Amino acid sequence: MTHLRKKMLEELQRRNYSESTIRGYLQAVQQFAVHFGKSPDKLGPDDLRSYQAHLLTERKLAVGSVVARVAALRFFFVRTLKRRDFREELPYPKDHRRLPTVLSLEVAQLIDAAANLMQRALLMTLYGTGMRRTEVSMLRVRDIDSRRMMIRVERGKGGVGRDLPLSPALLETLRAYWRWKKPHIYLFPSSVGQRGQDRPISDKTVWYACKEAAVHARITKHVTPHTLRHSWATHLLEAGTDLRTIQVLLGHGDLETTAKYLHLSQRHLQTVANPLESLQLSSVSQAGHNYHRKKDN
């Protein structure tokens, strides 16, 4: 590991960034350096400008992917190298926000298509709690409180913990899974040959379980672990749960972030009184098929 990489890693760790974010940031800076064939601290504003344009116009990456890389480069130059003036050289590209995908009956199809009991438990935990994939991968056995019927998220986004309701159906599956695997520390431990004994699975394992099940279930929608989070929140809203409660359950710091589910909830959309219905219109049978307009006298 180079001195520069070690320095950036320490800056990320001292701010308690998640493992997946650390991995992504380090990889983004490495790709930036490889693109120019130079150490990243030797590159300047012109290089940043051309690289960002290259990602958007030549590689045609999604805006969200470019935003993630810009965030990584911002951290490297501003936080690691202390070049605060570089912030202006790294603008975030404008993103035309699309509504997230929401599953309906496909959720059951997805869970039933799990390859084994472990993947089934992962998928049910994602949908049954609305957790992020990293939060699921970091769950410990002690976080499952069957007496209170709660699941504790110790290290959520931003380091904020929260309690989530534990459904009986999820508890039944987790108990069956525990009797099979008998995990000691982490609920979903990594295998000995992968990340080491008594270590959690990678969040990529959670992502893979979701993608593989979607393929076998022949679901044509774009499905990721976050899709199950969106679906859970939307279904809660449709069942009558208030927005503030959903905000707390999802671990959102801002209610505005949670409010996007209003645009996805069929129950809320269908209760809107459409002003078209109040118009006194002539019968549709009076509208001719051919273009014809009477002349005014």
Is the pLDDT at 138 greater than 80? The verdict is yes
pLDDT computed for residue 265 by the predictor: 62
The catalytic residue among 157, 199, 211, 260 is 157
pLDDT computed for residue 104 by the predictor: 85
Q: Catalytic: 261? A: yes
Global confidence as pTM: 0.67
Question: Does 20 fall in a domain?
Answer: yes
Contact 106, 199 (CB under 8 A): no
Q: Are residues 38 and 170 in the same domain?
A: no
Question: Does 154 fall in a domain?
Answer: yes
The catalytic residue among 79, 140, 252, 268 is 252
Question: Does 283 fall in a domain?
Answer: no
- 26-58 pLDDT tens trace: 999 999 999 999 999 999 999 999 999 999 999
Question: Does 113 fall in a domain?
Answer: yes
Mean pLDDT, residues 4-23 taken together: 89
CATH number at residue 17: 1.10.150.130
- 169-185 pLDDT tens trace: 999 999 999 999 999 99
Paired tokens of 60: 């045609």
Q: Are residues 71 and 114 in the same domain?
A: no
Domain extent, residue 215, equals 106-270
Per-residue confidence band for 239, with pLDDT thresholds at 50, 70 and 90 = confident
The catalytic residue among 69, 120, 133, 229 is 229
The catalytic residue among 25, 127, 177, 261 is 261
pLDDT computed for residue 238 by the predictor: 83
CATH number at residue 241: 1.10.443.10
- CA-to-CA distance for 61 and 171, rounded, in angstroms? 40
Helix (H) or strand (E) holding 29: helix 19-36
In whole numbers, what is the pLDDT of the chain averaged over residues?
A: 85
- CA-to-CA distance for 117 and 178, rounded, in angstroms? 10
Q: Catalytic: 157? A: yes
- CA-to-CA distance for 121 and 186, rounded, in angstroms? 14
- CA-to-CA distance for 95 and 64, rounded, in angstroms? 7
Q: Are residues 10 and 80 in the same domain?
A: yes
**Higher local confidence (pLDDT), 157 or 39:** 39
Residues contacting 252, CB < 8 A, separation 6+: 258
State the Cα angle at 67 between 62 and 71, rounded to 5°.
Answer: 155
Domain count, the chain: 2
Question: Does 288 fall in a domain?
Answer: no
The catalytic residue among 132, 133, 230, 235 is 132
Q: Catalytic: 152? A: no
The catalytic residue among 35, 79, 211, 226 is 226
Percent of the chain residues topping a pLDDT of 70 = 82
Q: Catalytic: 127? A: no
Q: Catalytic: 226? A: yes
Question: Does 57 fall in a domain?
Answer: yes
